[in-house]
Amino acid sequence: MGRRTSATAVAAVTALLAAATVAALSGVATAHSSLTQPASMSFTTDCRVSRGPGPTARNCPGPCPNIMLKRHGVGSSSSQPAATYRRGQTVRVRWARNNHEGGFVRWALVPVGSMMDAKVHEQMAFRWGCWSAGRFACKGGAHRKRFCIDDALDKPVGHAYQDWLTIPSIYPDGDYVLSFAWYGGVRNNKPKRRPVLSSLGDYYDCSYVRIAGGGVVEPAHTPTFRPGTRTRFPNRCVASVNRLGPCREEPCTVGRRANGESLHQGGELVPAPFAGGKTPPPLRTSWFPTTGAGRLGINAAYVTDLDGRRKRRLRTNRVNVVALGRDLERFTMEATVWGDVRVDGVAFAVPGKTRHIARAAPWFLTRVGAGTKARRSWGYWTAGKVVKVKITPLAITGHDVRVVPKTYRIKVVYK
Ligand SMILES: [Cu+2]
């Protein structure tokens, strides 16, 4: 509880201790967890909805904390973000275990102006995992106070959870809110019991983060579910429910009674958007504000086979001979992009032919064939003749972007 330093914080600690005592005495399955890295925008460790009893009452319906907000210092606002990330960077995130087990954690990056809009958090979620993932032991002192808070299940050492997130490249430079949601927690910390019983509510936390630099801004990103490290199952999580909502209010029991029957029974689940092998729709960079001016160019281009393996790098200062034979029977091309603004696509143009626009990275001249894993072969060439391919990165219109295309000369021959 070393996170709290102000007078309000001391009061909060008192309330929390009282809550823990009430919970211990009455057997109320009241829980708590919060984001510890990057630092939360709030001092609360139990942002949830619950009526009580007494100090366990909370009206923190998310998707970001509405109570005990930090007023100053690091992590208190967009101008003092808790962390700065690069596009494509893999970053460590940690959250308190506080004697609890099970459920899912959902991550989203949302514009600061939408931080209290649950629909936006849902739409912009980019990653799901198991909440009980990456368990680690705290060292003593400040480390324990910061990351393990009240955890005492494995006395005398406190434990907490962690995972690593790769920041999708769809976010233009700017200020965002990283959103943490926990749902499906397991009643009485019994992850081995079947069915898995509900009683915990939905939990929320948020952190102000900045995104600056890294790779080029890409148009789309498909959300992923990865359980995380050190989980019980490689592709599922032990949870009482698989989405936010059914356990909006704690305790998630009949009549909201502490000793009531569980409202939901779960097991080894995947998050609802991934149920039955589904994948959520891609997130689009067009949802985010963009920086106005900058440059975009083609970094490199390659001849690849139809599985996308790069066979040779193309040069702009000479005719590139593509020799077709046993090693490479058919081919396509790929380009990479540099720049500091959003790229909306890459156009491949041959004089007199229809140009092809790749709409998402990796930037290939041909699409993946329907129902296959291989790309279509490119056929706008005549053996022995030089053909020009002009590759142009496409910037969002209405901005002052200097675009630098490249043209490659290609001659296809048979070996
Ligand atoms: Cu708790």
Collapsed DSSP state (helix, strand, coil) of residue 256: helix
Are 220 and 284 contacting, i.e. CB atoms less than 8 angstroms apart? yes
- 294 Cα: distance to centroid of ligand 1 (angstroms): 48
Sequence spans of domains, the chain: 28-287, 294-414
Overall average pLDDT of the 265-276 stretch = 97
What's the full length of the chain, in residues?
415
Whether residue 34 is predicted with pLDDT greater than 60 in this model: the reply is yes
Overall average pLDDT of the 261-289 stretch = 94
β-strand pairing of 319-324 with 406-414: parallel
User: The tokens of 306 are what?
Assistant: 């139809």
- 19 Cα: distance to centroid of ligand 1 (angstroms): 9
Please tell me the predicted confidence (pLDDT) of residue 292. 65
pLDDT in tens, 246-264: 999 999 999 999 999 999 9
Q: How far apart are the first and last CA of the chain?
A: 71
Please tell me the predicted confidence (pLDDT) of residue 154. 85
User: The tokens of 56 are what?
Assistant: 């366990």
What homologous superfamily is domain 294-414 in, according to CATH? Immunoglobulins (2.60.40.10)
Q: Which residues is 324 bridged to in the sheet?
A: 414
pLDDT band of residue 333 (cuts 50, 70, 90) is very high
Phi, then psi, of 272 in degrees rounded to 5: -50, -40
- 379 Cα: distance to centroid of ligand 1 (angstroms): 62
Are 149 and 120 contacting, i.e. CB atoms less than 8 angstroms apart? no
pLDDT band of residue 18 (cuts 50, 70, 90) is very low
Cα pseudo-dihedral 134, 128, 171, 297, rounded to 10? 80
Are 217 and 171 contacting, i.e. CB atoms less than 8 angstroms apart? yes
- 34 Cα: distance to centroid of ligand 1 (angstroms): 10
The DSSP string of 14-30 is HHHHHHHHHHHHH----
Overall average pLDDT of the 334-345 stretch = 83
d(CA 400, CA 377): 35
Are 128 and 223 contacting, i.e. CB atoms less than 8 angstroms apart? yes
d(CA 391, CA 343): 13
β-strand pairing of 90-96 with 159-166: antiparallel
d(CA 195, CA 238): 10
Cα pseudo-dihedral 110, 34, 78, 49, rounded to 10? 70
Are 101 and 139 contacting, i.e. CB atoms less than 8 angstroms apart? no
d(CA 102, CA 233): 12
More confident residue, 406 or 31: 406
- 20 Cα: distance to centroid of ligand 1 (angstroms): 8
- 100 Cα: distance to centroid of ligand 1 (angstroms): 6
pLDDT band of residue 5 (cuts 50, 70, 90) is very low
- 30 Cα: distance to centroid of ligand 1 (angstroms): 6
Instruction: State the DSSP H helix or E strand holding residue 142, giving kind and residue range, or none if neither.
Output: helix 141-143
- 328 Cα: distance to centroid of ligand 1 (angstroms): 60
Whether residue 386 is predicted with pLDDT greater than 70 in this model: the reply is yes
- 81 Cα: distance to centroid of ligand 1 (angstroms): 27
- 361 Cα: distance to centroid of ligand 1 (angstroms): 42
**Positive or negative CA dihedral for 100, 101, 103, 106?**
positive
Please tell me the predicted confidence (pLDDT) of residue 372. 85
- 22 Cα: distance to centroid of ligand 1 (angstroms): 12
pLDDT in tens, 83-127: 999 999 999 999 999 999 999 999 999 988 789 989 999 999 999
Distance of CA 289 to the CA centre of its chain: 18
- 218 Cα: distance to centroid of ligand 1 (angstroms): 39
Closest CA to 128 of 64, 184, 87: 184
**Residue 377, exposed/middle/buried by CB under 10 A (0-12, 13-18, 19+)?**
middle
**Positive or negative CA dihedral for 126, 128, 131, 137?**
negative
- 228 Cα: distance to centroid of ligand 1 (angstroms): 22
- 101 Cα: distance to centroid of ligand 1 (angstroms): 10
Strand ranges, E, within 113-222: 125-130, 136-137, 159-166, 174-183, 196-197, 203-214, 220-221
- 97 Cα: distance to centroid of ligand 1 (angstroms): 8
Whether residue 167 is predicted with pLDDT greater than 50 in this model: the reply is yes
Closest CA to 280 of 133, 161, 141, 107: 107
Mean of per-residue pLDDT scores for the chain: 89
The percentage of residues in the chain with a pLDDT greater than 70, rounded to a whole number, is 91
pTM of the model: 0.75
Please tell me the predicted confidence (pLDDT) of residue 147. 96
